[in-house]
Amino acid sequence: MYNFMRKLRKHQKGFTLIELLVVVAILGVLAAVVVPNVAKFIGSGTEEAAATELANIQLAMTAYMADNPGTAITPVTTAVQITPGTTILGPYVINSSAYTYTWTAEGVVTQGAKATSVT
């Protein structure tokens, strides 16, 4: 048994300090590149969500105008939060909105600030 343990210690292999430092340096460089890019993607998600929501509201306004030709649309100059069942858009708006909107008599929708509370 003693001879067996001696043979194991004699042929013991492992990583040198230089090899370990190289691996740590490579991991540091990768982390320095990845972390800023991940932060950039997190911020872009909210911007894309706002743009998509505006497009959905504009599409709902267009659908309302197409289904109700000749019906006058009351322009809204004060920012309002569109909620399900809103009279002007009726069944076309399905979800609550996180932003406030204004629109003209021609049906052009403008997105305002993010609402403080979603009902």
pLDDT for 20-42, tens place per residue? 999 999 999 999 999 888 877 87
d(CA 17, CA 23): 10
d(CA 58, CA 22): 55
pLDDT over 50 (residue 61): yes
d(CA 12, CA 80): 74
Whole-number pLDDT of residue 5: 61
Q: Which has the minimum average pLDDT: 18-22, 58-62, 74-78, 108-112? A: 74-78
CA 47 and chain centroid, separation: 7
CB 86 within 8 A of CB 93: yes
pLDDT over 50 (residue 119): no
Closest CA to 64 of 54, 52, 72, 55: 72
Q: Which amino acid is at 114?
A: K
